[in-house]
Amino acid sequence: MKNFEYAGADTVERATMLCAENGTKAIAGGTNLIDLMKLQVETPARLVDLNSIDDRRIEEEEGGLRIGALASNTAVAVDQRIRSDYPVLAKAILAGATQQLRNKASVGGNLGQRTRCFYFTNIDQPCNKRDPGSGCGALTGVARIHAILGASRHCIATYPGDMAVAMAALDAQVELSGLANKSRMVAVRDFHRCPGYTPELDNILEPGELVVAVHLPAPVGGTQLYRKVRERSSYAFALCSVAAIVDVKRGKIARADLAFGSIAPKPWVDQRLTQLLVGEKPNMALFEKAADILVDGARGVGDNDYKIPLVRRTLIATLCEATEI
Amino acid sequence: MPIVINSLEYQLPADPRVSLLDFIRDHTGLPGTKKGCDHGQCGACTVILDGVRINSCLTLAVMHDNCDVITIEGIGSAEQPSALQQAFVKHDGFQCGYCTPGQICSATAMLAEIAEGWPSDATQDIGTRPSLSDEEIRERMSGNLCRCGAYPNIVAAIREVADAGQ
């Protein structure tokens, strides 16, 4: 590990000021960052430890819940309000990592976690995300875990997480705080970004800006599922996943909020699916049409071609389970 | 402020690069906690930090001012093994034994999580209290690998202690 300076911050204001300086990274749980520092993928000159900031509570607020960015993944998944009112979120978190990792990992850090692309995590390989301009090893290399939607010819890495996929289906909001206490709210759906020509930017955070909380909207009920397809039945990243909040009233679909994981550089939401499904009677032909729309424009590079039929079938199976057809 | 490991105080290292795992093994004379992968994948380095299990390889010692750590040495001794340690011996829950300190720390914390009613990915209805089926034990212990493949005996050992506690 390259040497670095270690500093603590006990207020958000102090942390944003320190983090705005070049070469500085914030650390909370550290389960992803320290791993990447050992691999020298991340080589910060300074780490700012956020753990003295007092914001790890999960609190009720008008119309929903506010989750402090330093709350552990475990704290969110075991919270009784989240288990009963936002089960898709608890299920998604529990489907990821191991209990040891979830105990340490924070909510803010989970949103900011980096891709698990083999070329990104190996400093002997080309990677435009890690080293802009060096090329993309995955385009012509081993790419079975890579994106089929939203990628560019400069980067086909996926956002690997589960938690943010459920938050995207719930249309949660991320509260950010930047220099001089400047706050803003961004939808989880808009927090991560597609690579385009600048794959080094995973998300829309400005220099010094930190995630301070995630706000969940009022509970919407319905059937909430998180279906994750992976190479092992536990402790493996998704090959594809579907977070679904589906409600059927008087025989017709009244709500269909869907988000997809590990098929794109960000939690993938396609509003055309919701528009197609809502108001219709659940049936197989409808679900097949939704799946066709989802993968319309999807493209593999060979190794990951299988993800196109895989996510298609995973969506259909999830919709069948949610609507009991 | 110092860090407390198995009820004894230690001064944190000056070098911020020292992982909690390396600090425990090299700076405190407690070699029971093992280094396997050093990347949070195998669980050999599992310790109990402020009541919950973590991978000590994926965190820095300097981040644990005033924290309380329990390692395998704090769980039991050859003279006074814990119930889980006795059950691992009885059921042959190991062969080479390298992963065992991590397995025992992990299982010790896991039984407390079950007592708290925490759900897992194997829990059918996450709104209710989980029961401890073999499937639940396997899912909850998936962060601890055993290259000797002693998994059936590890599950049997944990099951015996869990059943005795209920």
Q: What is the DSSP string of B90-157?
A: HTT--SS-SSHHHHHHHHHHHHHHHHHT---TT-S-TTSPPP--HHHHHHHTTT---TT--HHHHHHH
> Does pLDDT of B7 surpass 80?
yes
- Our measurement of the distance from residue A49's CA atom to the centroid of its chain's CA atoms, rounded to an integer in Å, reads 22
**Given this model, what pLDDT does residue B94 score?**
97
Chain B CB contacts of A4 under 8 Å are 16-17
DSSP A205: P
Tokens of A267: 């939690």
How many Å lie between the alpha carbon of A52 and the closest alpha carbon of chain B?
10
- Domain boundaries A223-323, CATH class: alpha beta
- Could you give the domains of chain B? 3-75 (3.10.20.30), 83-165 (1.10.150.120)
Dihedral angle at the C-alpha atoms of A57, A60, A66, A72, nearest 10 degrees? 30
How many Å lie between the alpha carbon of B138 and the closest alpha carbon of chain A?
9
- Our measurement of the distance from residue A278's CA atom to the centroid of its chain's CA atoms, rounded to an integer in Å, reads 25
Chain A CB contacts of B135 under 8 Å are none
Domain ranges of chain A: 223-323
Model confidence pLDDT, tens digit, residues A165-176: 999 999 999 999
Chain A CB contacts of B62 under 8 Å are 6, 49
**Given this model, what pLDDT does residue B166 score?**
61
CA dist A42 and A26 (Å) reads: 12
A246 contact partners, CB below 8 Å, separation of at least 6: A222, A223, A225, A253, A255, A256, A257, A319, A322, A323
Q: Tabulate helix, strand, coil % of chain B (nearest 5).
A: 40, 10, 50
Q: How many CB atoms lie within 10 A of CB A40?
A: 10
**Given this model, what pLDDT does residue A180 score?**
86
> Does pLDDT of B119 surpass 70?
yes
CA dist A277 and A289 (Å) reads: 9
CA dist B122 and B117 (Å) reads: 13
* Residue A161: CA count within 13 A, CB half-sphere: 27
CA dist A69 and A74 (Å) reads: 13
**B101 within 8 A of B44, measured Cβ to Cβ:** yes
Model confidence pLDDT, tens digit, residues A111-130: 999 999 999 999 999 999 99
| Bridge partner residues of A43 (DSSP) | none
- Our measurement of the distance from residue A282's CA atom to the centroid of its chain's CA atoms, rounded to an integer in Å, reads 28
Q: What does residue A106 show for φ and ψ, rounded to 5 degrees?
A: -100, 165
The interface residues of chain B toward chain A in range 69-98, judged by CB-CB distance below 8 A, are none
**Given this model, what pLDDT does residue A208 score?**
94
Residue of B nearest to A1 (CA): B17
Q: Which of A50, A98, A113, A227 to mutate to test the interface with B (most CBs of B within 10 A)?
A: A98
B128 contact partners, CB below 8 Å, separation of at least 6: none
- Our measurement of the distance from residue A165's CA atom to the centroid of its chain's CA atoms, rounded to an integer in Å, reads 5
How many Å lie between the alpha carbon of B41 and the closest alpha carbon of chain A?
9
Average pLDDT over chain B, rounded to an integer: 97
**Which residue positions in chain A have pLDDT lower than 50?**
none
Tokens of A102: 């979830």
B119 and A78 in contact by Cβ < 8 A?
A: yes
What band does B18 get if pLDDT is binned at 50, 70 and 90?
Answer: very high
Q: Which of B49, B55, B108 to mutate to test the interface with A (most CBs of A within 10 A)?
A: B55
Residue owning tokens 């644990």: B64
DSSP A260: E
Q: Tabulate helix, strand, coil % of chain A (nearest 5).
A: 30, 25, 45
Q: Kindly state whether B120 is in contact with chain A, defined as any CB-CB distance less than 8 angstroms.
A: yes
